[in-house]
Structure 1
Amino acid sequence: MAQIAPKAEWKEDWIKDTVYLHMFPRSFAKSVVNISPFAIKLELWLRLNKIPFKVIDYNGMGSKGQSPFIFFNEKEIPDSNFIIEYLSEYFRVDPYPGLSITDQAVARAFLKMIEENTSWAIFIYRYVEQPDEFAEYFMPKAPANVKAALQKSLQVSVRDRAQKHGIGRHSSEEVHKIGCDDIKAISAFLANKKYLMGDNPTLVDCSLFGLMTQIVCVPMKYPERKIIMEECQNIKDFVDRIINLYWSEWHEQCEF
């Protein structure tokens, strides 16, 4: 099995008001900068808002058993949404700048759909249904026995969590119909806008980018990827736009 990381702790040389973003090492992924869409979401949000941060490659989980998590001014904060809520208040940043209360409600609804519905179709495909296909893009430099053991553990864990969530009780065809219908809804709402809610990126775009990179940038045979490439090109354009504007090191960071 993969070595378990020691408990993360604040370091004496860490700088006040700098976010120490703990996430799975970039080397765990191929064709994308991180295997966690939530880590990508959080890193993009920090970039958009010019909040000082340092990435800490960490092969482990935070206090809630989640990755990513942060240390900030000696405090550990888990869960990307609670992290963003905390930092928004601290730095006086609006996660939805310029949006009306109604539009903020729409954005929140899309964020929750992406993170608590659409994402399951992707996780089920790569961890439960097609681990052999995903093996090419997961921990590419790890010893085969270590990778196989971790993939087996993830397969059992994700299957169990999906069952408890409810989506895992559906057939594969039904799960991916849900995922593809979500993709079509996102594409229809995005239309020809630069970002989901208009001309400026907001928190929901960070969430959308985090998950869509797992599909667009990783050439697996996701049913959802086929829909994007054949029917929802505006989502691929959205991903490319954000990489070009806000993540100049993207392709370099994918080279593991």
Structure 2
Amino acid sequence: MAAEISWSCTEIFGTFVGSGILLLVVAKLVCRFFFAEKPTEYPKGVVIFCQVPKTPVAPNLCPFAVKLGTYMRMANIPYQNVYSMKLSPKRKTPWIIYNGQAYSDSQFIIEFLNKEFNVDLSKHLTAKEKAIAHSMRKMTEESLYWTFIMNRWVQSYGDPTISRLATLSGLDLWKLKMATSVMSYFQGYGRHTEEEVERISRQDLQALNDHIGDKPYLMGDKPCEEDCAVFGMIAMMWLMRESSFITKMVKENTYPNLTIYYEKMKNEFWPIYEEQS
């Protein structure tokens, strides 16, 4: 008898749980049917530039968004901004939608657009010059970038001057700190001390400063594709917290060639820098 009662209770419990799951599934389907967002229809032949919301003092806090925006301006490719925290199918930002298809990763996007719009911003460079430009871009995106985001979101955490750059809640800032800490640890730079990270940053900046010298652009008198990436990263120097060693370098004009380069690129491709993206 006890066994029979126990079995009945099990059946009742299973039925209850099963019914609850079924109700949740049905409710989700109903919500999708009645409340799902309709896919936005974008014009054909126009790049839909998806990026995180811009800051009041610059087009974006993300160097890769500034890179991609600069490239499309330099190449005269028509684009439309969409500001959102939504990520691409690869879980990356910025990204684009073109003729209904999503494309991720700023460099892959540029390579795609080069083919689609028959663009070659580096055709004036020799093979050797292209190799040097490629190395400069890799240094900024694979090394300097990590020192910048670690300083902005981890080392300067708690500095309230971030509010002049973006409106972020305490929870958002904490999430950014934790995410950056984890990613940089597995990348490698997150295992270094603050002093070591600063030394890496200064070495990269000095190399860029020395390479650019008195040239108006990265590789000479005419901008090339890699200028977009270098400018996007250098622009971040003016978007750090007040306590940052990078902000101190900007104020002291430690790298004068980079300051001149930044101002020239900004004025040429972003004439109303604070208001455009």
Checking the alignment, whether the CA contact within 8 Å between 2:150 and 2:181 is kept in structure 1 is yes
1:219 Cα deviation from its structure 2 partner: 6.0
The equivalent residue for 2:40 is 11
State yes or no: 1:84 paired with 2:84: no
Partner AA of 1:61 in structure 2: L
The structure, 1 or 2, with the larger RCO (C-alpha pairs under 8 Å, 6+ apart) is 1
**Matches of 1:9 and 1:157 in 2, distance apart?**
31
The structure number with the bigger radius of gyration is: 2
1:131 and 1:32 map into 2 onto residues whose CA distance is: 21
RMSD, matched Cα:
2.0
Contact 1:69 1:78 (C-alpha < 8 Å) held by counterparts: yes
Give yes or no for contact 1:216–1:236 (8 Å, CA) kept in 2. no
Pairs within 5 Å for 1:41-120: 41-120=67-146
CA drift at 1:60? 2.0
User: What letter corresponds to residue 194 of structure 1 in structure 2?
Assistant: P
Aligned to 1:252: 275
Which letter does structure 2 place at the counterpart of 1:238?
Y
CA-to-partner distance for each residue in 1:48-78, whole Å, 9 max, x for gaps? Answer: 0000001111122111111100000111001
Against the structure 1 CA distance between its residues 217 and 237, is the aligned structure 2 distance closer, same or farther, given a 3 Å change threshold?
farther
Say if 2:224 is the partner of 1:224. no
1:90 Cα deviation from its structure 2 partner: 0.9
Give the equivalent residue in structure 1 for 2:223. 201
For normalisation by structure 1, the TM-score amounts to: 0.87
Distance 1:109 1:8 in 2: 43
Shift of 1:40: 0.5
Aligned length: 240
Q: 2:257 aligns with which of 226, 234, 237?
A: 234
Q: Which runs of 5+ in 1 are unaligned?
A: 1-6
Which residue of the partner structure matches residue 3 of structure 1? Answer: none
Partner of 2:18: none
Q: Which amino acid aligns with 1:71?
A: I
SS of match in other structure, 2:97: strand
- CA offsets, 1:158-179, max 9 Å, x none? 0000000011111100001000
| TM-score, normalised via structure 2 length | 0.81
Structure 2 equivalent of residue 136 of structure 1: 163
Identity %, equivalent residues: 27
Distance 1:31 1:221 in 2: 18
Aligned residue in 1 for 2:212: 190
The aligned residue for residue 172 of structure 2 is 150
Q: 1:10 to 1:180 in 2, by over 3 A?
A: farther
Deviation at 1:216, TM superposition (A): 2.6
CA distance in 2, matches of 1:25, 1:50: 23
